[in-house]
Structure 1
Amino acid sequence: MQRTIDWMDGSVVIIDQCALPGTYRTLRLDTVDELIDAIARLAIRGAPALGAAGALGVVLAARAGGAVSEEAARVAKARPTAVNLSWGVARALAKLPEGVDAVLAEALEMLDEDERTNREASRLASEVVLDLCGRRPLRLLTHCNAGRLATVGWGTALGVVWHLQAGGFVDSVLVDETRPLLQGARLTAWELAEAGIPYRVLPDNAAAAAMSRGLVDCVLVGADRIAANGDVANKIGTYGLAIAARHHGIPFVVVAPQSTVDYSIPGGGSIVIEERSPAEVTHLAGVAIAPPGADAFNPAFDVTPASLVTALITETGPHPA
């Protein structure tokens, strides 16, 4: 299976997530500018995939010569909330004194490591889910996309679904559409269909109603940045899901690699939240759905307090330990 992001013949090669589900295509990115554009328009997205993109951005900069550190800083700032992006840049940049080949070797190791890490995190999380819910076919609810498209090649929260399905423990998955850019309806549903797992897409504002009707056994989400105290920044709408899950007594489980934990931030109040263009809200597929000139509040992420998280699992186990 093709990786979401990879290095091939001197170029960064990605699955273009803006084209799915209608078209499956790959893009070759040969410059830092092309990589930054792909990150900004979400052709590359998902915290672990962004970590890989950060490292490969340093490779592109180092191979081009010039002010590598300045170019690397531009990559790191392309999206401010996902800590993996700056983490990937810093890790690859640390190898620059050893030469371009050392930078590339580090980036390639990070690609392999990402898949191993997320397989282990999701494996551990799948056992936590079964402990919480019982070893039976489960009705799961997801938000945004935390599958292979959000990582190099496996997935975090959706990786849990792959493990549970292999054991015969998935009844079906409810997929939040994830407004305004529909990563759930476009990407998660596509991955589940590809895997042959029963699913239904639902509007984000129907999730609480589904819980109230007994249609959800567990909520599974990923994360873009985790504060030292366990507060979780994830796609906008995650906080509301956590509140609804707590009200209905449903486990709310977060799955992410350890690299997503930012120990420099004590709590979620210090996490910078990216705000995106109002046009993403006021337009749908290029068609206006609000009056001309309408403004919009369009944060890409929100912060869920650790007190609402039933379990937060990385490849090393529960966090905070």
Structure 2
Amino acid sequence: MKLEAISFKNNTLSIIDQTLLPQHFKIITLDSLNKSIEAIKKLKVRGAPAIGIIAAYTIYIEAKKLSQKNSLTKRSFNDVCKSVASSRPTAVNLFWAVRQMEITFRKFSPNGNSILISELKKRAISIHKKDKIKCSKIGENGSPLIKNVNNVLTHCNAGMLATGGSGTALSVIYEAHNSNKNLHVYVDETRPLGQGARLTYFELKHNNVECTLLSDNAAGSLFAQKEIEAVIVGADRIAMNGDFANKIGTFPLAVLAKTFNIPFYVAAPITTFDQNAKSKEDIPIEMRSKKEILSFWNIDDELNYNVYNPAFDITESSYVSAFITDIGIIKKPFTTNIKKSLQL
């Protein structure tokens, strides 16, 4: 069984339905705008890089349909882009991918629909292929940081199931594991939807990396016992000062890491840095349905529980040891070095 979150073959876009893992492995086809948006919103596909890839392919597929109906215009194309971009608010890779498709449209629309559709397809495929390369580079760049580490903690899922390649945080782990078979990973279950329990543990075992699942609130005891030597997580959006958003529950780990003087690494492609976000104040946080929490405990809606359920939290840059990217390691001072890395 091959773990490939996204497949695009013969003009057909397919994904692994991640809501069914690990009990069931099912491939579903995304052949319409509505299906793609539903898949993103319902987390059938998730992870910032993967969402960006799906966005690009969906825009191409819909543009092709519009062209076949002789209704592909600047307005109809923009409507598709807006719909895709509105599917989730926090992951900046989504908006980056949409912008790339918009740029391609503006550049090639004067050349006629045949050339335009061909170029949109090429751009979507390129985004997918380049993400795979970026994942490998992240692994290569980050693995020396944990080459002598035996126990690392990760949160949520930042691996093959979240990207177009080997992952971000997990790519570093996979690369390090190639030279250190003793590397062991503690996996937060990642409530309320269990991406760590359902996806990361499943993925690591599939790739023969030893791992142990723990409840999110058990992490502190492992730090106190000096069992954790490093923490590595992904990111959905990184501000220009190094503040970043990641799956809810990330920030407490950063606090623990700082308290116990443990390195806290963030792995992400350079496209996750948002040039329009100066700091945490500029990062929108998606709020999810209360049903995601209540259903876990079989609590009926009629009981009218008040529920706080953000999809992400913000970790300030002061807690971050370094950012591991596809173009290298970004160290402190982050405001200066992020700008240098982005060549601003």
TM-score band w.r.t. shorter chain: over 0.9
Alpha carbon RMSD of aligned pairs, Å? 1.5
Task: Please report how far the alpha carbon of residue 163 of structure 1 lies from its aligned counterpart in structure 2 after TM superposition.
Answer: 0.5
Distance 2:105 2:301 in 1: 49
- The residue correspondences of 1:4-15 to structure 2 (distance < 5 A) are 4-15=5-16
Structure index of larger Rg? 2
Question: Is the CA contact 2:3–2:161 (under 8 Å) kept in the aligned structure 1?
Answer: no
Identity of aligned residues (%): 37
Task: Please report how far the alpha carbon of residue 170 of structure 1 lies from its aligned counterpart in structure 2 after TM superposition.
Answer: 4.0
Distance 1:164 1:229 in 2: 28
- The residue correspondences of 1:1-321 to structure 2 (distance < 5 A) are 1=2, 3-65=4-66, 66=71, 67-97=76-106, 98=108, 99-130=116-147, 135=148, 137-168=149-180, 170-284=182-296, 287-288=298-299, 292-319=303-330, 320=334, 321=337
Following TM superposition, the consecutive aligned residue runs of length 4 or more in structure 1 with deviations greater than 6 angstroms are none
Distance 1:84 1:129 in 2: 26
Distance 2:81 2:24 in 1: 31
TM-score under structure 1 length normalisation: 0.95
Distance 2:165 2:267 in 1: 15
Distance 2:104 2:329 in 1: 31
Distance 2:152 2:231 in 1: 6
- CA deviation map 1:9-63 (0-9, x unaligned): 2221111111100011111111111000000000110011011011112112211
Higher strand share: 1
Task: Please report how far the alpha carbon of residue 94 of structure 1 lies from its aligned counterpart in structure 2 after TM superposition.
Answer: 1.6
Task: Please report how far the alpha carbon of residue 171 of structure 1 lies from its aligned counterpart in structure 2 after TM superposition.
Answer: 2.9
**Structure 2 counterpart SS, 1:284:** helix
**Structure 2 counterpart SS, 1:30:** coil
**Structure 1 counterpart SS, 2:90:** coil
- CA deviation map 1:284-315 (0-9, x unaligned): 18x32888221210000011000000111111
Q: Structure 1 residues 169 and 193 mapped into 2: Cα distance closer, same or farther (>3 Å)?
A: closer
Task: Please report how far the alpha carbon of residue 184 of structure 1 lies from its aligned counterpart in structure 2 after TM superposition.
Answer: 0.1
Higher helix share: 2
- CA deviation map 1:135-177 (0-9, x unaligned): 3x51010000001000012100011110011011543111000
Distance 1:28 1:106 in 2: 20
Equivalent residue letter for 1:119: S
Equivalent residue letter for 2:84: V
- CA deviation map 1:248-278 (0-9, x unaligned): 1111000000010001110012100000000
- CA deviation map 1:91-134 (0-9, x unaligned): 0222124211100001101111001011101211111233xxxx
Distance 2:191 2:302 in 1: 19
| Number of matched pairs | 315
Unaligned runs of 5+ in 2: 109-115, 338-344
Question: Is the CA contact 1:242–1:308 (under 8 Å) kept in the aligned structure 2?
Answer: yes
Question: Is the CA contact 1:161–1:170 (under 8 Å) kept in the aligned structure 2?
Answer: no
